[in-house]
Amino acid sequence: MREFIEFAVHLADLAGEQILPRFRVAIGLENKSKDGGFDPVTVADREAEAAIRREIRRVYPDHGILGEEHGLTAGTSSYTWVIDPIDGTRAFVLGQLHWGTLIALNDGTAPIVGIMRQPYTGETFIGSTAGTELRRGNSTTRLSVRATSRLADVTVCATDPTMFAGPAHQQAFQRLAPRARAVRFGGDCYTPCLVAAGCADLVVEAGLKTWDVQALIPIVQGAGGVITDWRGGPAERAGEVIIAGNRELHAEVVAALAWPLVPG
Ligand code: IPD
Ligand code: CA
């Protein structure tokens, strides 16, 4: 496990070398959206993922690789690396800080290591069955969630209101949001790490892809948090996801969302 964790941190270093020189610099972007929305990708996303893939192929040629920008390369072992080189590209292209490199190692049943690296702030969140830690410079801090357990006492964090645009999602979010203390939009992969750090309590997302969630699972669970889909089932399949600091809060959120209200 330790070997895989340090290798994942090394992969995040390689990604940062590609990303940082292109941050807050005019590099241009391509809009990947096919439905008139805004889903940007940049040379930083593509080059960071390419650098990660080259290194995995060199060190673990039998491992599979699934990345947002360059797809799936099947391996011959049960291990697959699941990569989002920049999660939060919309924030990245604005020069905002809520983005990061997500790297997970899935052993064929579940993600066993998850890394979120924000190279500009120099933070690396590392999750595994050994727990969750935050490395920054020479300091390493063990992370754990906090105990706020009532929905009425927490802020619901979600990345983008447009992900609740369809009637079913909108209604579910409206069943939840008024019962919380406040709602805060923005955050991408950063806010789930703040739940792990005990700074935030609740993230509710929709429309996530597997590379958006795999790395977050060990980070959240290793800190004692709960990460599931909106029904309380496994989060690996992505889509609708809840990240909560504790079981009591999580149960209240599942009940409030009542997803889907009409089974189907
Ligand atoms: C996005 C982030 C965001 C989610 C979007 C994703 P990207 O990933 O995960 O939090 O709401 O659905 O597309 O495109 O910045 O890698
Ligand atoms: Ca991405």
Q: Average pLDDT over the chain, rounded to whole? A: 96
Determine the topology of domain 2-142 in CATH.
Fructose-1,6-Bisphosphatase; Chain A, domain 1 (3.30.540)
Pair 240, 205: CB distance under 8 Å: yes
Measure 211 CA to ligand 2 centroid, in angstroms: 8
Phi/psi of residue 226, nearest 5 degrees: -120, 130
- What share of the chain in percent tops pLDDT 70? 98
CB of 228 closer than 6 angstroms to any ligand 1 atom: no
Give the Cα separation of 76 and 74 in Å (integer).
Answer: 7
With a 6 A CB cut-off, is 212 part of the ligand 1 pocket? yes
Strand-pair category, 123-128 with 139-142 = unpaired
Q: Is the CB of 229 under 6 A from ligand 1?
A: no
State in words which class domain 151-257 has.
Answer: alpha beta
pLDDT attached to residue 251: 98
**What one-letter code names the amino acid at 261?**
L
261 pLDDT tier (thresholds 50, 70, 90) = low
pLDDT in tens, 30-40: 999 988 888 89
CA 241 to ligand 1 center in whole angstroms: 13
CB of 206 sitting under 6 A from ligand 1: no
Report the percent of the chain where pLDDT is more than 90.
Answer: 90
pLDDT digits (tens, 9 = 90+) for 104-140: 999 999 999 999 999 999 999 999 999 999 999 999 9
- SS3 string of the chain? CHHHHHHHHHHHHHHHHHHHHHCCCCCCCEECCCCCCCCEECHHHHHHHHHHHHHHHHHCCCCEEEECCCEEECCCCCCEEEEEEEECHHHHCCCCCCCEEEEEEECCCCEEEEEEEECCCCEEEEEECCEEEEEECCEEEECCCCCCCCHHHCEEEECCHHHHCCHHHHHHHHHHHHHCCEEEECCCCHHHHHHHCCCCCEEEEEEECHHHHCCHHHHHHHCCCEEEECCCCCCCCCEEEEEECCHHHHHHHHHHHCCCCCCC
| Predicted pLDDT at 28 | 85
- List the domain boundaries for the chain: 2-142, 151-257
Q: Is 160 in the pocket of ligand 1 (CB under 6 A)?
A: yes
| pLDDT interval class at 1 (50, 70, 90) | confident
The DSSP element (H or E) to which 202 belongs, if any, is: strand 202-208
pTM flag (> 0.85): yes
* Distance in Å, CA 43 to ligand 2 centroid: 12
- DSSP H or E stretch at residue 67: strand 64-67
Which is it for the CA torsion 230, 235, 237, 239, positive or negative?
positive
221-258 per-position pLDDT tens digit: 999 999 999 999 999 988 999 999 999 999 999 999 99
Handedness of CA 233, 72, 6, 121 (dihedral sign): negative
213, pLDDT greater than 60:
yes
pLDDT digits 0-9 by tens, 21-30: 999 999 889 9
Tell me the per-residue pLDDT of 95-112, one tens digit each, with 9 for 90 and over.
999 999 999 999 999 999
Write out the two tokens for 112.
Answer: 């066993």
Q: Ligand 1 centre and the CA of 88: distance in Å?
A: 5
Task: Kindly state if the Cβ of 163 falls inside 6 Å of ligand 1.
Answer: yes
The finding on whether 159 has its CB within 6 A of some atom of ligand 1 is yes
In angstroms, what is the span from residue 144 Cα to ligand 2's centroid?
26
